[in-house]
Structure 1
């Protein structure tokens, strides 16, 4: 369970002269989720930490998002909460706490629904190219191999009969054959909710403000993943297929890091990667699409 007080555990009264006052906007939008109605005022200067283990910010912190009005809140389930991170720095920096819809990130992860989605995604792209020629398509075999009678052998009409060694196949494969079928829309959306809930429950769901990184360096992105313990394979999801230039150049050089827009988010890709990183804009867009189609 996330607690907003944890972010102030090292910012006690001995290190700060005055408290910070924040005014978070109630009616927020996708792009202005972190913007307050008024500017954040910091009273006094920050003291230098006497203890090197204490963390004193070098700049005034951004407004902490402690609550957010969901468009379609649940009447019986409390909202889920997650930290909001940033990729602008190498160290893990918390920008605030965001509320998540409980029916998207708090549903029971049904294994059968996840299996149906994974099986569907594997089969709809598969094409069987196996092909075997029938006796009509085999060359030769027009002449009767031996007379009908007076030979003591069974009567035969062609050496391309299926009972011959090099004859045609009676019931062989007739490819190419497509295994495409459409999974019901309810199961597809339910599978997305189950996969997102599973990542959230496993603490493998990371929400960031954006995918902006200071430089287009592959090593910087790898160090960022290692410092934050995000795992070996990471899937980055943004609200659009046009992503920041520095991030695109860096992630393109790492084979086990992948990026996709939110409209391409699927169960197979989420389960294939160890960690799922969503931008705040992608969370908002996914919430609107999921609520419109399912909830």
Structure 2
């Protein structure tokens, strides 16, 4: 698949080929859905935690004798039946929501979401991208130009960097509608969430080297 290459000023700079093994893969909704579910579950942070009757402080003494008071029998003031008592079947911090997916399936799902973006002409390749110093306004202008001239109505952008370019990363991180990510650290949810992928040409061989397994 051939796509246009642009300069940083959005002027035409020729064409480049996208590897069909990555960018022309037939989609499977079920496989992509599975990959999304696995990623979401594995990134879930479990913080809610309740105490059982054995963990709540106090309650060691029997509140009143077993018989003769007329009250219902009780063995501890920390019973789940009591106010300030333990919780029965409450959430625990040791819950494990982790799911597994083999690497071959995950790579195929990644190819599918990249192929979907390429098929919709939502992969914008630049000959080079750079800024002299971190400057958010530079990236705002770039993304606005992408929306006006290439991917119409795009609101969210994923910038795929070939290397750890701190200037570009810092110029992007204050933008709610954009995210910068390394070419060798792609993930499915970020790609699906973006309307347009902004890719410097140097990122393409890194994507192939990292994710394309013969």
TM bucket (normalised to shorter chain) is 0.7 to 0.9
Cα deviation for residue 250 of structure 1 reads 4.5
Residue matched to 1:27: none
Distance 1:271 1:159, change over 3 A: same
TM-score by length of 2: 0.82
Q: Which residue of 1 aligns with 2:77?
A: 159
Deviations 1:51-104 (A, max 9, x none): xxxxxxxxxxxxxxxxxxxxxxxxxxxxx22222222x24x41x2232222221
Indicate how the Cα distance of structure 1 residues 251 and 157 shifts in structure 2: closer, same or farther if over 3 A, else same.
closer
Listed as ranges, the matches of 1:171-250 within 5 Å are 171-212=89-130, 217-218=137-138, 220-230=141-151, 231-242=154-165, 245=167, 247=168, 250=171
Question: What residue number does 1:262 align with?
Answer: 183
Max radius of gyration: which structure?
1
User: For the Cα contact (< 8 Å) 1:236–1:278, is it kept in 2?
Assistant: yes
Write out aligned runs for 1:7-156 (5 A).
80-87=1-8, 89-90=9-10, 92-93=11-12, 95-156=13-74
- Unaligned runs of 5+ residues in structure 1 are 1-79
Q: 1 CA distance for matches of 2:191 and 2:63?
A: 61
Distance 1:203 1:136, change over 3 A: same
CA distance in 1, matches of 2:144, 2:113: 27
How far is 1:202 from its partner? 1.3
CA distance in structure 1 between the aligned counterparts of 2:91 and 2:78, rounded to whole angstroms = 17
Query: What displacement does 1:272 show?
Result: 0.9
* C-alpha distance in 2 between matches for 1:190 and 1:199: 15
- Ranges in structure 2 where 5+ consecutive residues have no aligned partner: none
| TM-score relative to the length of structure 1 | 0.62
Measured at CA, do residues 214 and 227 of structure 1 come closer, stay the same or move farther in structure 2, by a change above 3 Å?
Answer: farther
- Quote the residue 1:53 is aligned against: none
State the match for 1:26 in structure 2: none
Q: Which residue of the partner structure matches residue 172 of structure 2?
A: 251
Instruction: Give 1:110 deviation, angstroms.
Output: 1.4
Cα drift, residue 200 of structure 1: 1.0
Q: 1:260 to 1:139 in 2, by over 3 A?
A: closer
Q: Per-residue displacement from partner, 1:212-256 (whole Å, max 9, x unpaired)?
A: 46996535424422431432221111221126x5x5564355332
Q: Which has the higher contact order (CA 8 A, sep 6+)?
A: 2
Tell me which moved more, 170-179 or 212-221. 212-221
Aligned-pair CA distance for 1:265? 1.2
CA distance in 2, matches of 1:156, 1:248: 62
CA contact (8 A) 1:237 1:279 kept: yes
